[in-house]
Homo-oligomer: A and B are copies of this chain.
Amino acid sequence: MSETDGPGPDAVQTLRWVGDIDGHLKLIDQTLLPRECREVACRDVETVWEAIRSLRVRGAPAIGIAAAYGVCLGMQDGSEESPERFFARLHQVREFLAGSRPTAVNLFTALNRMQGRAAELRAVRGPPEIRQALWEEARAIHEEDRAMCRAIGRQGAHLLGDGMGVLTHCNAGGLATSEYGTALALIYAAHEQGTRLHVFVDETRPLLQGARLTAWELAQHHIPSTLICDSMAAQVMREGRIQAVVTGADRIAANGDTANKIGTYGLAVLAHAHGIPFYVAAPSTTFDLELEHGDQIPIEQRGAAEVTEVLGQAVAPDGIEVYNPAFDVTPSRYIRAMITERGVLFPVNESRIRAVVG
């Protein structure tokens, strides 16, 4: 069901389809990073389901792409079926994948898009052509994500000047998307243009995505970087080592208030206090224009064990009370500019947001 096959040293291909329509999906098993970079080969929908469920693949865009390919794998034997059986199976496959991470919005967006494509063709095409169209739709979802990340990089690269120190938080990089990321897209694009940067990577407690994933990813791209604990960011800023902070976003309200990984808000306040520009890089799909401001974004609370244990070992007394918000909300006044695939939002305000991503 799985095999070992590392990608080349420069390429971080979070997931890739191997072969033609009868091929299979390979994805980097992120639970093994940074100790080992091993790809899991997914030859059936069950393996994709397990990879999403077990966080082998993570990050909203990457989950969506994996699920779309999962639909293709689930329908690989369906060409000979009657339309009724084909659509009954498609429904089953969709429901099965939807249960892998029920709170991941991008998972449903991708599955709905796949199902919608099949429904469009039902009256005019047979199962073999619909299966072909589904595979092309999955490849389109994948390619659009790649193009979107590249576009974010292109739009924002000029904000990072030669010799700058750039601080980032969590992993808004290739491992969360198809290959290029959002916050890290700016860094990769600038790097490709010859801009010399030094990236400071917050380890990002409690789940250490910065230490485990971003530090690894930057090393693959040969971009100089330094790992710090989250509590060291202020000191590094004070020492003049940081000229820009760039993070991703989970959800952005119409006025620009931004929900992102816990710790982002504190960094924005610290950047403001040190006169350092704070940038948010995110695709236009991250904006939720039905939310007027960030106070309407619910903050997910997570379990105590993420804080009281590290890699399964206890670091705090048993039974201690823990507060573990997964996200925080950064008011738009702390955000110098936002970088989307459609352009840079500067200044950050509702009219500019509606004009560019509305």
Q: Judge whether A230 is part of the interface by a CB distance below 8 angstroms.
A: yes
Chain A interface helix/strand/loop/mixed: mixed
Task: Judge whether A317 and B216 touch: CB under 8 Å.
Answer: yes
- Select one of B203, B231, B233, B315 contacting A316, CB under 8 A: B203
Write out the residue numbers on chain B whose beta carbons fall within 8 Å of the beta carbon of A315.
203, 208, 211-212, 310-311
Count of residues in A whose CB is under 8 Å from the partner chain: 53
Q: Judge whether A164 is part of the interface by a CB distance below 8 angstroms.
A: no
Q: Judge whether A235 is part of the interface by a CB distance below 8 angstroms.
A: yes
Task: Judge whether A205 and B206 touch: CB under 8 Å.
Answer: no
Closest chain B CB from A30 CB (angstroms): 13
Q: If the complex has contacts A227-B320, A232-B263, are A310 and B307 also in contact, measured as CB distance less than 8 A?
A: no
Interface string of A197-225 (1 = CB under 8 A from B): 00010111110100110011001000011
Task: Judge whether B212 and A229 touch: CB under 8 Å.
Answer: no
Report the stretch among A21-29, A91-99, A145-153, A322-330 that lies at the interface: A322-330
Q: Chain B residue with minimal CB distance to A317? A: B34
Q: Judge whether A356 is part of the interface by a CB distance below 8 angstroms.
A: no
Write out the residue numbers on chain B whose beta carbons fall within 8 Å of the beta carbon of A224.
321
Interface centre among A34, A320, A324, by most chain B C-beta atoms within 10 angstroms, is A320
Tell me which residues from 269 to 328 in chain A have a Cβ below 8 Å from any Cβ of chain B. Answer: 269-270, 272-273, 307-308, 310-311, 313-318, 320-325, 328
Q: Judge whether A236 is part of the interface by a CB distance below 8 angstroms.
A: yes
A residues neighboring B (CB under 8 Å)? 34-35, 200, 202-206, 208, 211-212, 215-216, 219, 224-236, 238, 262-263, 265-266, 269-270, 272-273, 307-308, 310-311, 313-318, 320-325, 328
